[in-house]
Structure 1
C-alpha cells in the first residue's frame, strides 16, 4: 500500500493525528518515502486512541459518513467503539463471496450459513452477518441464520436445515464450534453428509483441535480445506487469512515435528498470509505494527501482538531446507495449486504483555495483577507473583490457568480464589463477563499454586507461561 499517501491523508484530514505528531515531535515531520516512516512515533490504543475524542480520530474529524460503530474488548468495564466506513464492509462481503464460491461453489450451489458469533455491536458477528445477508440479497444461493452464542439453537438449526443444502458453513469461535459439533454428533446428526466447513475467529487453535473437528465432520484428520481462520482485530480489521497453503505449512510442522527447525521454536503459531496492498506491516522487536486506511486511519499502530513476518520465498526456502514441501502436501490432499498466491506470512505467537485470548476474550496481565495485588483474599496467602496460561484439556476445551506463588507457610483455597478472580475479572472485562455468563463453570480460571521461585525462569520475570 502507499503508506506515504496514507500519512499525508492522516496529517491533512485527521485532527488527532496531526495534534499527536505536534505533541510528540514538536512539528509535523516531512515524509516522502516509506523509509521516512521509521522516524515517525508509534501509536497505540493507550497513548493515541484513548487520548483523543473519537470524532477527532476519524477522517475529517467527524462521525458523519461512518455508518456503524463496532466494539473492541472492554477493560475497566468500558469498551471502545471503532467507527467503520462503508467500503470496509464492502470488502468483507467481497471476501466472503470469494471464499464461499471457492470452497462451496456458491455461484452454482445453495449454501447454508450458520453465524454463531457474538452479535450486537461485536464486530466479528456484526460484519459477518451483514456481509452474508448482503450476499443473499445481491447474488442469491445463500440462506443464513444467526443463532449467535445460543449453541443449542445452532445445533437445532443445523439439524433442521443443513440437509437441504449442497454445503453448510459454520462461523464461530474455536471452543464454541467444537461444542456445537460435539452436541450435534451426540444427537446423531449426520454431520458427514452436510459437507461442512468451519470459519473461525477470535483466537488460535492447535492441530490436535483440527484433527478432532475434522473427524467429527467426516474428513481425514489432516484435511486442508474444511477449517479456516484468520488474524485480525476490531482495531484494524482482518489482516491475514489462513490459506490452504498456510494450513499445509502448519501440517508439515505438526506432522513431521519441524517447528523448531523451520521457526526456531517448538510451538506452532497462528500462521496466515496477508496482502501488502491493503496493509503496511512491520515489527518493532517482536511486536506487530500496522498502518491502514480506515475510518480511524492508523499509522505505525502497536497491535500488542507478538509476531514474526516472513516473506513467501524465505518461508518456502526454510521448509525446503528442513526437507518439507507444503505445495506437494497441498496437491496430494486435494488443494488447487493454481489458487496459491505468493503472499508473505504473518505468524502470531500471542500477546506482548503476556495476556491470552480465552473464548475470544482478551485476558490482560494488568487485569489479573490488579486482582492479585488488590484483593485481600489473594494478598493474605500469595506473594503477588503469578503467571497466566491458556492450555487445552483432554476434551480440547480451553482452560485459563493462573499460577500463583504462595507466601511461606501460607495456604489458600483454589476454588475460592478462582471464584473471586472470575467475579472481579467480569467487572473489568465486558468480554469475559459475557463468556462467564454463557459458559458457566467452564470459564472459571483454574488456580494452581507453585513453590517459591518456581515462576522465575532466569532473571527476567514473565507473566505468561
Structure 2
C-alpha cells in the first residue's frame, strides 16, 4: 500500500481523520503525490488518538469487525486501547514465521517458544502469543509456553522443558531476559546445551549486553542470530527487524570503535531494516513518523522516537569508506549472504519526547519532575533540577538513574528511592507495573549532586545524552 492509497482510505472511511483535517486545514485535501502527502499535518497520540472517540478513529467509524481490544501501557497515566483487525494478527504470525524459518530453521530444529512479555490485554505480549499459537497450529515445529513476566515460572519451564527441544526461543524485554537467564544459570541449568535464542522488544540494548547474554548462552560474543530485536510501537506494530546484517553492522561499528565515523553520532543506535512497501516511514525534524493501515489507521503519526532512514546502498558505501564489509562479517560468523535483502535501514537514537525507556516502560522527564516536586521530603531535599538516564550497572542490569541537585545544606533522604518510586507509579501505569513485578530492582537510583552542576549555560539538561 502506498502513502497515497492509505490517505484515501483514511480520508474516506475514518470519521475522526476527516474532522481532524477539517479542523487543521479547513477541508479534506486531495492527495495524488508524495509531495501532497508530505504537506499533510502530523498526528500524535495527544492531538489525534486522545482527541476523538475510539469508534470514530476506527475504519468505518465502528468497532464492528475489530475482533479484539488490546491496550498500550499508558506512559501518561491512562492506557490507550487499540482495536485489532484479523489482518493485523495474521501479519504478526507471518512476521514471526519469517524470522523463525530463515534465521533459526525451525522446520529442521523444532522449538520451544517461551513468551516472557506482559500478557492480559497488553498488546505486545498478546499479539506475540497469538501469532506463535497460530504458527504452532498451522505449521507445527513449535510448542508454546506463556509464563508472562513471572520469571520464577519462566525459569521453571526453561529448566523442565528446554532440554526436551532442539532449541528454545525466548520472547521478552532485555532486562527480563537477562534476569531470567541468570536465574536459570544460578539453578544449575546448562544454557549452552539448550540452544536458546532471544527475540527482544520494548527497548534497545548495548553490544556489551549482547556480549554478556551470549556468554550466558554459550555462544561467541559476536554471534549474529542469538540476540535479535526490532523497531516498532504498540501504536503501529512492528516496523523494522534487526536482521543478521544489522547485527553484523553493529558488531563492526562496536568492535572497531567506528560509530561516529560511519553514523556521525557518538552512541551506537538501534539498527534495523524495514520494507518500504509494507511500512510507511518518514523522518520529520529528526523524528520518525509512521503511517499504517490497521483498525485505527494512522497517517503521518509521530512515533516519539529520534531516528533516521538510510538507503541500503548509502549505508554500505559509508561502511566501505570506513573499511568495513558487513557481508564478510556475515560469512566469517556463519551466516548466509544469499538471504541479505537490499532493504533500507531505520536507525533509532532514543526518545524525542524527553524521556527514557526502562524495563520497556517509557519514563518522561515531566513525570520525574512532578514526583520530585510533589513528595514533601524530596521537595525539601532537592531543588528540582535533575538529569535522567537509563544506565547499566557493572553486571549489565538496567537502572533508572536520577542525578538530583541538592538544596544548599540539605542531605539526600535515606528513603528517597521508594518515595520517588511511589510518586512515579502514581503518574505512570507502565512504571507501576514494572515496580510491582520487579520490586527493589526497579527502584530508581538517586545520585545527589552539588548545586549548579547540572546546568549547561543557563538551562538544565534533563536528559543525560
Report the Cα distance in structure 2 between the residues aligned to 1:326 and 1:179, rounded to whole angstroms. Answer: 31
Report the Cα distance in structure 2 between the residues aligned to 1:44 and 1:134, rounded to whole angstroms. Answer: 32
Contact 2:375 2:423 in 1 (8 A): no
Report the Cα distance in structure 2 between the residues aligned to 1:186 and 1:141, rounded to whole angstroms. Answer: 29
Deviates more, 1:379-388 or 1:291-300: 379-388
User: Which residue of structure 1 lines up, in the alignment, with residue 441 of structure 2?
Assistant: 442
* Secondary structure, counterpart of 2:45 in structure 1: coil
User: Which residue of structure 2 lines up, in the alignment, with residue 248 of structure 1?
Assistant: 248
Deviates more, 1:17-26 or 1:453-462: 453-462
* Secondary structure, counterpart of 2:154 in structure 1: helix
Paired residues for 1:356-375 under 5 Å: 356-375=356-375
Contact 1:111 1:169 in 2 (8 A): yes
* Secondary structure, counterpart of 2:405 in structure 1: strand
Deviates more, 1:449-458 or 1:321-330: 449-458
Report the Cα distance in structure 1 between the residues aligned to 2:61 and 2:69, rounded to whole angstroms. Answer: 15
Report the Cα distance in structure 2 between the residues aligned to 1:104 and 1:96, rounded to whole angstroms. Answer: 11
Q: Residue by residue, what CA displacement relative to the aligned partner does 1:359-381 show, whole Å, maximum 9, x if unpaired?
A: 11111112112222333223323
Cα deviation for residue 76 of structure 1 reads: 5.1
Contact 1:391 1:399 in 2 (8 A): yes
User: Which residue of structure 1 lines up, in the alignment, with residue 415 of structure 2?
Assistant: 416
Paired residues for 1:269-308 under 5 Å: 269-308=269-308
Report the Cα distance in structure 2 between the residues aligned to 1:442 and 1:109, rounded to whole angstroms. Answer: 36
Cα deviation for residue 457 of structure 1 reads: 2.7
Cα deviation for residue 198 of structure 1 reads: 0.7
Contact 2:170 2:198 in 1 (8 A): yes
Paired residues for 1:425-440 under 5 Å: 425-440=424-439
Report the Cα distance in structure 1 between the residues aligned to 2:459 and 2:35, rounded to whole angstroms. Answer: 34
| TM-score, structure 1 as length reference | 0.97
Cα deviation for residue 302 of structure 1 reads: 0.7
User: Which residue of structure 2 lines up, in the alignment, with residue 117 of structure 1?
Assistant: 117
Report the Cα distance in structure 1 between the residues aligned to 2:459 and 2:249, rounded to whole angstroms. Answer: 33
Cα deviation for residue 459 of structure 1 reads: 5.0
* Secondary structure, counterpart of 1:169 in structure 2: strand
Report the Cα distance in structure 2 between the residues aligned to 1:62 and 1:386, rounded to whole angstroms. Answer: 45
Contact 1:404 1:448 in 2 (8 A): yes
Contact 1:14 1:59 in 2 (8 A): yes
User: Which residue of structure 1 lines up, in the alignment, with residue 80 of structure 2?
Assistant: 80
Cα deviation for residue 69 of structure 1 reads: 1.4
Q: Residue by residue, what CA displacement relative to the aligned partner does 1:179-204 show, whole Å, maximum 9, x if unpaired?
A: 11111111221211111111111111
User: Which residue of structure 2 lines up, in the alignment, with residue 141 of structure 1?
Assistant: 141
User: Which residue of structure 1 lines up, in the alignment, with residue 207 of structure 2?
Assistant: 207
Cα deviation for residue 460 of structure 1 reads: 4.9
* Secondary structure, counterpart of 1:260 in structure 2: helix
Paired residues for 1:45-444 under 5 Å: 45-75=45-75, 77-413=77-413, 415-444=414-443
* Secondary structure, counterpart of 1:171 in structure 2: strand
Report the Cα distance in structure 2 between the residues aligned to 1:408 and 1:182, rounded to whole angstroms. Answer: 42
Report the Cα distance in structure 1 between the residues aligned to 2:323 and 2:141, rounded to whole angstroms. Answer: 43
- Aligned Cα RMSD in Å? 1.3
Report the Cα distance in structure 1 between the residues aligned to 2:315 and 2:104, rounded to whole angstroms. Answer: 29
Deviates more, 1:230-239 or 1:100-109: 100-109
Q: Residue by residue, what CA displacement relative to the aligned partner does 1:204-261 show, whole Å, maximum 9, x if unpaired?
A: 1110111111111111010001111111111000011000000000001110000110
Report the Cα distance in structure 2 between the residues aligned to 1:328 and 1:76, rounded to whole angstroms. Answer: 45
* Secondary structure, counterpart of 1:220 in structure 2: coil
User: Which residue of structure 2 lines up, in the alignment, with residue 2 of structure 1?
Assistant: 2
Report the Cα distance in structure 1 between the residues aligned to 2:291 and 2:161, rounded to whole angstroms. Answer: 42
* Secondary structure, counterpart of 1:395 in structure 2: coil
Contact 1:70 1:234 in 2 (8 A): no
Cα deviation for residue 73 of structure 1 reads: 2.1
* Secondary structure, counterpart of 1:380 in structure 2: helix
Deviates more, 1:451-460 or 1:104-113: 451-460
Report the Cα distance in structure 2 between the residues aligned to 1:364 and 1:125, rounded to whole angstroms. Answer: 23
